[in-house]
Amino acid sequence: MKLIAAVDEKWGIGKAGALLASVPEDMKFFRESTRGHVLVMGHNTLVSFPNSKPLPARLNIVMSRREKAVPGAVVCDSTEQLLALLQDFSSDDIFVIGGGMIYSLLLPYCETAYITKMQFDGKADAFFPNLDENPSWQAVSESQEKEHEGLRFSFVKYENRAVKPLHFNGNSSAMADYFKKKSPEESALCEENACARAYAKPLEHGVTAGDVADFLAEQSGCSFEEYLWRNRFLMTKDGFLAAVSNNQ
Q: Which residues bind ligand NAP (CB under 6 A)?
A: 5-6, 13-14, 17-19, 41-45, 48, 63-67, 77-79, 97-102, 105, 126
From the centroid of its chain, how far is CA 155? Answer: 21
Q: Which is nearer to ligand NAP, 20 or 241 (CB)?
A: 20
Nearer to ligand NAP, 14 or 54 (CB): 14
Cα–Cα dist 154/147, whole Å: 8
Q: Which CB sits closer to ligand NAP, 129 or 221?
A: 129
Q: Smallest distance from the beta carbon of 235 to ligand NAP, in angstroms?
A: 26
| Partner residues linked to 114 by β-bridges | 4, 157
Closest contact distance (angstroms) between CB of 52 and ligand NAP is 12
Instruction: Pick the closest to residue 102 from 48, 49, 63 (CA basis).
Output: 63
Q: Closer to ligand NAP at the Cβ: 6 or 228?
A: 6
Nearest approach in angstroms of CB 108 to ligand NAP is 13
Taking phi first (over 0 means left), then psi (-120 to 50 degrees means alpha), and beta for anything else, what does residue 240 get? Answer: beta
Cβ closer to ligand NAP: 59 or 115? 115
At 108, the amino acid letter reads P
Least distance to ligand NAP, CB of residue 137, Å: 16
CB 54 within 8 A of CB 73: yes
Residue type, 228: L
Rounded least distance, CB 86 to ligand NAP, Å: 13
CA atoms of 2 and 44, how far apart (whole Å) = 20
Q: Which residue from 108, 137, 121, 97 is spatially nearest to 11, judged by alpha carbons?
A: 121
